[in-house]
Amino acid sequence: MEASQAQDLDEIRQRIKDLRTKLRSIRDERRSLIEELKELRAKRRELIEKIRERRAKIRELIEERNKLREEIEKLFEERQKVIEEYRKARQEATEIRNEYESLMAEVGIPERVLRRRIAALERRIETQPLSRDAERDLVVRISHLEAMLQTLLEAKKLKRKFIEIMAEAERWRFFIRDTGERIKALKTQISELNEQISDLIKELDEIRPEVDKLSKEIEEKSAKVDEMKAQMDAIFQELTAARETLKKAYEEMYAATRQVEEQLKSKLAMVALEKYKSGEKLSLEELKALIEAGYLESGPPAAG
């Protein structure tokens, strides 16, 4: 083998070795990057799941808040109606009380006194001898007293009605108070829900940039992984080409060696043939050369 050929082969082998080393280095680095990508993607999935959970919770809280607002609106409408009825009842009660007080002031005498006077006048008519004028005068007085009594009875009816209206108004007042407290409590609940929603939105605002940052890092590392894959493919192609070159060089070298060997064998066979013809003793190598060259077909001569 010539020195230049040996040098070429050494260079190819060194090139293959360098390419293998480079390929392993890139492959190891790429595997490390792929592991990092797995961790980054797992972390991003975790954050995305947190975002989904918080969005679902926000929707749930908003739905609950809307229901509370609807309840407040319903209570407020009922409360406004009752307030209007309460005002009407209070106004009617005031009018009845004024009328009652007017009737009582008009009579100015208690009912029992009126009844006692009427009874006394009726007994006088029944028990005492009276002239026609005196009896007529007593009857007129009794009629007057009975009219006053009737006025008092009407006043008593007004008083009972006043009490009934005030009792109903009091129930409405309690309802107004209770609904007011209920509305206040519901508004407090809504305020608490708003705080929870606000906190969740704040968390989302903090998580989203993290997801964006991870996505950008994943994109960059994925691009790097793809780039390294392309580098590996190129190196592999180059390595394959170098191997093919080395194989071809070995084949050419082997062919050249075989050719030289064949030439040497042929030359040796020719020399041996001359010796054989001259009757000289042949060595084993010379005899083998003659046989392989086909010069001896019926057995070899004796070797020295």
Highest mean pLDDT out of 4-18, 118-132, 228-242: 228-242
Q: At 282, is the secondary structure helix, strand, or coil?
A: strand
pLDDT at 299: 47
- 3-class DSSP assignment, residue 303: strand
Cα separation, 8 vs 294, whole angstroms: 38
Region 7-26: mean pLDDT is: 87
Cα separation, 85 vs 170, whole angstroms: 11
- 36 Rama class: left (phi>0) / alpha (psi -120 to 50) / beta: alpha
The set of residues, in sequence order, having a beta carbon less than 8 Å from that of 194 and lying 6+ positions away, is: 65
Q: What percent of the chain has pLDDT over 90?
A: 56
pLDDT for residue 295 = 74
For the cut 80, the answer to whether the pLDDT of residue 29 exceeds it is: yes
Q: Write down the residue that tokens 């009875």 correspond to.
A: 153
Q: Which of 11-15, 43-47, 151-155 has the highest mean pLDDT?
A: 43-47
Query: Do the Cβ atoms of 47 and 208 come closer than 8 Å?
Result: no
How many CB atoms within 10 Å of residue 63?
10
Indicate whether 30 pLDDT > 80: yes
**Which residues are within 8 A (CB) of 78 and not within 5 positions of it... i.e. 6 or more apart?**
179
pLDDT 10s digits, 194-236? 999 999 999 999 999 999 999 999 999 999 999 999 999 999 9
